[in-house]
């Protein structure tokens, strides 16, 4: 085994574990947001909030399926020859958009399968999940930028 591969594997395990924890928190928040808009958790149209461990399981399986799909899509769209790489940017954008749509459908499917809810409700929860993810990224980015400005003394 080449040197350093163990560190890479440990790092990947750490990233997956942290990503699963954060994803589970965001998933539960998305379900709470959906339920608040659907009339509360006791409403007929509410989505049952999973326990934290089940939410982690949903996110973990979703991450695995997305990784497999992205791997296959990457293998299918990689031109592999230098002449074809001139068109790689267009192919990459299409692959990324397709990957995003597949990711949304995978999460909605997982929610529909693992929670007693309809695919329509699962899609709405998935939309809230993505909105919360974007908001978290924006907040972290702004905080890091402010921290960087503070460090430079500006």
Q: 10-46 pLDDT, tens per residue?
A: 988 999 999 999 999 999 999 999 999 998 888 999 9
Maximum C-alpha span of the chain:
59
Give yes or no for a contact between 85 and 137, defined as CB atoms under 8 angstroms apart.
no
* Closest listed residue to residue 47, CA positions, set 151, 132, 55, 16: 55
* pLDDT at res. 83: 46
Measured between alpha carbons, how far is 116 from 128 in angstroms, rounded to an integer?
18
Closest CA to 67 of 117, 120, 12, 114: 12
**Ranges of residues in the chain whose predicted pLDDT is under 70:** 1-2, 77-91, 154
Global confidence as pTM: 0.82
Domain residue limits, the chain: 5-133
Q: What is the pLDDT of residue 73?
A: 77
């Amino acid at each position: 085994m080449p040197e350093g591969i163990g560190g890479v594997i440990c790092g990947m395990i750490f990233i997956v574990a942290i990503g699963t924890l954060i994803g589970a928190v965001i998933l539960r928040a998305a379900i709470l947001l959906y339920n608040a808009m659907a009339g509360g958790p006791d409403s007929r149209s509410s989505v049952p909030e999973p326990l934290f461990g089940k939410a982690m399981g949903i996110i973990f399986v979703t991450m695995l399926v997305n990784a497999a799909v992205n791997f296959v899509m990457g293998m299918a769209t990689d031109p592999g020859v230098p002449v074809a790489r001139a068109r790689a940017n267009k192919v990459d954008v299409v692959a990324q958009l397709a990957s995003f749509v597949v990711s949304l459908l995978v999460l909605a499917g997982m929610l529909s399968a693992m929670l007693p809810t309809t695919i329509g409700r699962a899609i709405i929860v998935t939309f809230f999940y993505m909105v919360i993810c974007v908001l978290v990224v924006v907040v972290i980015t702004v905080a890091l930028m402010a921290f960087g400005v503070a460090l430079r003394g500006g």
